[in-house]
Amino acid sequence: MHTNSSIELNQTAYQNNIDFLRKTFGKKVQFSSVVKGNAYGHGIKEFVTMAYDCGVSHFSVFDVEEAKLIKEALADKATIMVMGLVQEIDMEWIIANNVEFFVFDKIRLNQAIKAAKKLKIVAKIHIEAETGMNRTGFEKRELSAVITTFKKEKEHLYLKGLCTHYAGAESIANYYRVEKQIKKFEEIYQYLCDNDLRPEIKHSACSAASIMFPKTRMDLVRIGIMQYGLWSSPEVFVNYLSTKKNKTDPLKRVITWKSNVMSLKKVSIGDFIGYGTSFLAERNMKIAVIPIGYSHGYSRSLSNQGRVLINGQRCIVVGSVNMNMMTVDVTDVAAVKKDDEVVLIGSQEELTVSVASFSDFSNQLNYELLTRIAKTIPRKIIE
């Protein structure tokens, strides 16, 4: 267990985000909380526990390993949907545990039938349709065979949903591509219904699509990044604001990442700091060493760039981010001492380091930055 830093999840902020999203989508749209990538770095078990306490009971994950972690945290209280990887050896576990899953090729469909027959339990399937992303999903021409199989095996298969995923709804540049996908998805839905295979629900929206293309909300939305209090892109945020009188951000950041000063040192003018020559002291300086490095998810590209908060002041990273440590300039932080709190993401007194500012510096998307935060750092829920 790392003791060099800690992560706090703010339940009040999360409840605020959920209330906002529920109000935006309306009562008829089911909310699925997307918690792949260790709940976008928030810590999957702690996060789903908090989400459940805020009234969320449907979770979407990438693979069976993540589904198992939700089971450990919430037992059978939540509905779980696996959107990505299901290996053959996990097929029986997934069906026996009443976990729903996407099926996007014949191999998986046949594995599901085989396991369902063996267990005598009906497999709850979401057929994923290829609509233009060209990643996973049945092609339209494959669907007639899928329909035939479904009818033949109807004691073993339940068609819970029809779904698809959009290829970049967060950017206006992809507007026509996404519109074409929406149209194609509706055609496929109609085709299934015309052939007497009506899915219980249909779903397609991620965060960006749910805001940019409200018609994609359908019966269920799969929301990742927005529930954590961040927008998929500045375009999505601006698009949201454009129709609103109140121009403030309705979302609140859930995560805070903190560490402490490990050591302090004086450096003389003309000396280099850290490996090599990337930082030359141009004045006499005071440096704080922070026990956080790229092995904990603090990107090396934040070398000489990143900002942290110490004693209510913004301090810049000097020299390169190392594997387990980095150095920050505290020359102008008068009272700094060993063990003082260091905020890597979050607020301290009047100042904030937002996830967005952090990822702009390192040219990473919000998503990538968050999921890189080491799994071993303890997560704690605060009210």
Ligand X SMILES: *Cc1c(COP(=O)(O)O)cnc(C)c1O
Q: How many CB atoms lie under 10 A from the CB of residue 188?
A: 22
SS3 state of residue 265: strand
Q: Which is nearer to ligand X, 206 or 310 (CB)?
A: 206
Q: Alpha-carbon dihedral of residues 112, 113, 117, 118, nearest 10 degrees?
A: -40
Marked catalytic residue, from 14, 36, 189, 258: 36
**Residue 314 marked as a ligand binder:** no
DSSP character at residue 194: H
Q: Is 17 in the site for ligand X (CB under 6 A)?
A: no
Output the DSSP codes for 60-99: EESSHHHHHHHHHHHTTSSEEEE-S---GGGHHHHHHTT-
36: annotated active-site residue: yes
**Residue 283 marked as a ligand binder:** no
Q: Which is nearer to ligand X, 95 or 226 (CB)?
A: 226
Round to whole Å and give the CA distance between 164 and 178: 11
Task: Identify each DSSP E strand in 219-269 by its residue range.
Answer: 220-223, 255-260, 263-267
Binding residues for ligand X restricted to 349-368, rule: CB under 6 A: none
Q: Is 129 in the site for ligand X (CB under 6 A)?
A: no
Q: Which is nearer to ligand X, 18 or 292 (CB)?
A: 18
CA 266 to chain centre: 40
275: annotated active-site residue: yes
Q: Is 56 in the site for ligand X (CB under 6 A)?
A: no
Among 9, 48, 182, 208, binds ligand X (CB under 6 A): 208
Q: Which stretch binds ligand X (CB under 6 A): 1-9, 182-190, 202-210, 341-349?
A: 202-210
Among 9, 223, 302, 342, binds ligand X (CB under 6 A): 223
Q: Which is nearer to ligand X, 340 or 368 (CB)?
A: 368
Round to whole Å and give the CA distance between 66 and 226: 20
Provide the annotated binding site for substrate: 135, 323
Site of interaction with ligand X (CB under 6 A): 34, 36, 83, 165, 206-208, 222-225, 232
